[in-house]
Amino acid sequence: MQFTALQIATLIQGKIEGDPDAKVSTVAKIEEAGEGTLSFIANPKYEEYLYSTNASILIVNDSLEITEKVKPTLIRVKDAYSGFAFLLEKYNEIISNTGKVGIEEHAHVSKTATIGNNVYIGAFSYVGDNAIIGNNVKIYPGCYIGDNVVIKDDTKLFAGVKIYDGCAIGNRVIIHSGTVVGGDGFGFAPQNDGTYRKVPQIGNVIIEDDVEIGANTTIDRATMGSTIIKKGVKLDNLIQIAHNVEIGENTVIAAQTGISGSTKVGKNCIVGGQVGIVGHIQIADGTRINAQSGLSKTVAEPNTALTGSPAYDYKSSLKSQAIFRNLPELQQRLFKLEEMVAELTSLLNKQHVKENQ
């Protein structure tokens, strides 16, 4: 499938510099692009490829300055990265739109379930009693939808997703393979004999609109009430969200992060990979937590940057790291200062003895 520069520019509201009839049929990274490919430049460190690339069309920022002749047709937009991402989204919709509708053989759908229009339910999927499935929902093979689950319009569940009883999924949510929503929270009461008694987890999980959840992520149901993932949240693969956690709007969390029970994460936060967060704390809006950090207390100040374990202010951490790297040199300087102090003390003592003779 081919697209012209004019078609692309019209779609992303860009300005063309070059041949509006230039055609592309695929996309590629700027350093690997060849004839007939579309690419982009958003990061200044890739601008060197602007004059050597064989791409036919490049999406670039309005602010990019051209110092010599370029081969590709350029399409200038305010934000090249966002423009290219939008195009990839539309391209993916085209190539992945199989038009699948209906219930495949060997899928089980309860007679009491409500199924919307243009729904696809793949083979070996299970839809429980009183479940409500909205319009244009895609449920790929091997999914489990428990009793009383609500899934709203245009949501997509890839193969092997499990949604436990009573959970609610919003509009335009994407959940990737192997993810479990609504499993029991980790609640066990210690007994006098050293054993543990399971605390029933009777709440649910609520996932609001426009959330995307990566593969093999787990979101536990609340002990009571709801674990809540608010609208616009993006969760990577292999994340653990414990019972009664709340993730604020448009927060993004990278892989292998674990959030303990009843913690409240604010909106527009950025959490790096392999971060550990203790339970029963609050994290202010706009907080940024560096990868492999361990957060053990509430973050009250919005837009704080944290790193380390235990995590603390990012700038202070960098200063501490610089000092740590210089410790051997500082140690030698300290030894020399101690020697000088000892010599001065000896001289002063001798002078004191002479004065008292």
Tell me which of 106, 108, 176, 243 is the catalytic residue: 243
Distance, in Å, from the CA atom of 279 to the CA atom of 291, rounded to the nearest integer, reads 18
Q: Does the annotation mark 243 as catalytic?
A: yes
Distance, in Å, from the CA atom of 277 to the CA atom of 264, rounded to the nearest integer, reads 10
Rounded to 5°, the CA angle 73-76-78 comes to 160
Q: Which residues contact 119 (CB under 8 A, 6 or more apart)?
A: 101, 102, 103, 133, 134, 135, 136, 137, 138, 139
Q: Which one-letter amino acid corresponds to residue 309?
A: S
Q: Which of 241, 246, 258 is nearest to 294 (CA)?
A: 258
Distance, in Å, from the CA atom of 181 to the CA atom of 151, rounded to the nearest integer, reads 12
Distance, in Å, from the CA atom of 66 to the CA atom of 28, rounded to the nearest integer, reads 21
CB-CB contact of 23 with 7 (8 Å): no
Q: Where are the beta strands (DSSP E) in 134-215?
A: 138-139, 144-145, 150-151, 156-157, 162-163, 168-169, 174-175, 180-183, 188-190, 196-198, 204-207, 212-213
Distance, in Å, from the CA atom of 81 to the CA atom of 72, rounded to the nearest integer, reads 17
Both tokens assigned to 214: 């990566």
- Tokens 């608010």 belong to 230
Within 13 Å and on the Cβ side, how many CA atoms surround 104? 14
Q: Which residues are catalytic?
A: 243
